[in-house]
Chains A and B, each alone.
Chain A
């Protein structure tokens, strides 16, 4: 179904061999974490040391990777996990679960001067920022990626991303954070306060300007005051922090970074994937491939013949089951055709639906065979 002759095979194998960073993006519930883990595992099997950074893995997958007790640090997949699955990796595989709140705290701890740090941690806006601000999860995932990329020597990092309903939230995240620190408006607003701060004044007044008075009718004066205090504290973060937000943004556009868009197959869910694809492409981050996950395969004519030879009532039960599968396969084929029409030249890589949820190393390796084109879905 995916392009005649060249079924997207090899495109992900090449990315795993040549790129330094692979970012898996897509809506929630499409199996992004599984795809991320499979890609990193495949790289390790083929001899490239890799790290998969996951957001919210299913417990059994986390257990399978030996991730159960780890918070925000990488762990090497232990040898018995491989040997139990009958696999021999040619390079180590590492995995970690990202702890959002902790990563924010570490970031502030690193860049804020000691006297400011506690003020930031205590500020209610910080507590909301690190958990509630739209885009802050996406940003912190990218931030962690940058840290791992620049301070550890992993040849390949695969990043699983938070489920994002709106592609723009994801792409806009570094801008939002940069904006927070670098915005002209903020600087203008805060300059008097910064000067006052330097003169040793503990508080400053946001001023009685017309617009500020009107704004405070909406939010209350104290809200503005507390937000301003927060911004003031944040503005004390040194230039390194800003530099870093810029670097995070640049990393996404780096030629060594590849985006992989993950989606399900059904036609009624394709709108999100198509939207995501067009936003990424418009922003110079065109995905190297669209992974269509959990594709239903159609039963063959022989399957139906064999079913008709069965005794009743088993025959009816099996025929019904085969017909249901045929319907789902036809539905997926419609969705895939529509997707291919919309994403133009981006190759589609299909992964079949497995009988069991993918939650062990063996199943991840099987998934990977489809991802890199060693196996393909027969339609």
Chain B
């Protein structure tokens, strides 16, 4: 497997609470370390990625975090404004239109328009070029939002293609959809946990990505796994000592769940599963992200 380094857009998806932002931060770090100009995009969040990497929040402007690594937190208001300005070209016109109550009302109810402009901004960065015509970014990491099903954000172009009649919005949606489904450009990384519900959701997400978004999942990251540590005989030895037995059985149950989750994901999604062992630390920060990046080296590919 070639790894992620031959793709430009790395979409990291998964439900809330599975460690999506951690994996996004780790992958962005790995990309930057491999010498690639890397932009990590968060969408209307609490800005975890920059915080995890030990930097102050970046806000809605693209900001440099460290060597080869930039970050941006995209917000619907700003993204909508940029989109409108690109379409309408003049600030005065923008104001006349967007500061009109009727228009604002309309825009709220055009389904998923907010998501569309946010995703549109991400994809604009993917297409952004420098003066010499080379792509401005070697890697764009998208920490996809987890509102409801993670799929709804990525499905936005398709939803719009199905919803809005031909016109400018339709054309925009088609261009975005085409970028997303280009397997030479886009990689989709699904983050999961070794528990029943998250694994079910990952399987559904993979199917929805293939069926509804027509994006092939590239890899699964199984986060917070536990190693098989105890043998059955050892667990029986510990059985009379409640405190120790409970601790050992819980560890063992976690290990079995990890193994089962891996097997279900491998057969169900049909892509490589990369494990990130559960980290034991009181606080979560830069050191932990570095550790996660180390575990994901094989997924990224070349490791500088």
Q: Which residues of A contact B (CB under 8 A)?
A: 27-30, 58-60, 124-125, 127-129, 132-134, 137, 162-166, 169, 176, 179-180, 183-186, 188-189, 210-211, 214-227, 231, 264, 266-269, 271-272, 275, 299-300, 302-303, 306-307, 310, 314, 317-318, 320-325, 327-328, 330-331, 334, 355-357, 359
Tell whether A307 pairs with B244 under 8 Å between CB atoms, given A29-B198, A59-B196, A222-B166: yes
Give the interface segment out of B66-74, B142-150, B175-183.
B142-150
15 extra A-B contacts, CB within 8 A, seeds A29-B17, A176-B108, A267-B283: A165-B147, A184-B101, A185-B105, A188-B102, A211-B96, A217-B168, A219-B168, A223-B165, A306-B244, A317-B230, A317-B248, A321-B247, A327-B282, A334-B282, A356-B253
Interface residue ranges of B1-41 to A (CB < 8 Å): 15-18
Q: With a CB–CB cut-off of 8 A, which chain B residues contact A306?
A: 241, 243-244
Q: Does B271 contact A (CB under 8 A)?
A: no
Is the pair A128, B96 in contact by a Cβ cutoff of 8 Å? no
Contact between A166 and B230, CB atoms less than 8 A apart: no
* A321 to B17 CA separation, bound complex (whole angstroms): 24
Interface majority SS (helix, strand, loop, mixed), chain B: helix
| Given A128-B163, A211-B102; A165-B244 close (CB under 8 Å) | no
Residue from B84, B163, B241, B247 in contact with A325 in the complex, judged by beta carbons closer than 8 Å: B247
CB pair B234–A269 under 8 Å, yes or no, is: no
Distance in angstroms between the alpha carbons of A318 and B249 in the assembled complex: 10
Partner of A219, one of B145, B164, B280: B164
Residue contact B102 to A219, C-beta cutoff 8 Å: no
B162 to chain A, nearest CB (A): 7
Of the candidates A216, A224, A302, the one having the most CB atoms from chain B within 10 angstroms of its own CB is A224
| Inter-chain contact B112/A132, CB cutoff 8 Å | yes
Q: For residue A188, which residues in chain B have a CB less than 8 angstroms away from its CB? A: 102
Instruction: Establish whether residues B17 and A302, one from each chain, have CB atoms under 8 Å apart when the complex forms.
Output: no
Assess whether A303 is in contact with B147, with CB atoms less than 8 Å apart: no
Interface residues on B, range: 35 or more
Q: Give the residue name and chain of the A residue nearest to B162 (CB).
A: A124
Contact B165 A222 (CB under 8 A): yes
- Interface of chain B residues 69 through 94 with chain A (CB within 8 A): 84, 87-88, 93
A186 touches B111 (CB 8 A): no
Cβ distance B185 to chain A, nearest Cβ, rounded Å: 25
Q: Is the CB of A28 within 8 A of B159?
A: no
A221 touches B111 (CB 8 A): no
Chain B min CB distance to A131 (Å): 8
Q: Which of A128, A217, A310 contacts B88 (CB 8 A)?
A: A217
Measured between C-beta atoms, what is the minimum distance from A264 to chain B in Å? 7
Cα distance A214–B96 in the bound complex, in angstroms: 9
Chain A residues, CB < 8 A from B283: 267-268, 331, 334
B157-173 at interface with A (beta carbon < 8 Å): 159, 162-170
Tell yes or no: B129 within 8 A of A by CB. no
Taking a contact as CB atoms under 8 Å apart, the answer to whether B97 and A214 are in contact is: yes
* A223 interface neighbour in B102, B148, B169, Cβ under 8 Å: B169
Q: Is the CB of A303 within 8 A of B146?
A: no
Per a CB cutoff under 8 Å, which of A29, A124, A302, A323 touches B163? Answer: A124
Q: Is the CB of B84 within 8 A of A218?
A: yes
Q: How far is the CA of A210 from the CA of B46 in the complex (A)?
A: 39
Residues of B within 8 A of A218 (CB): 84, 87-88, 97, 168-169
Whether B250 sits at the interface, judged by CB under 8 Å, is: yes
The answer to whether B111 touches A133 (Cβ under 8 A) is: yes
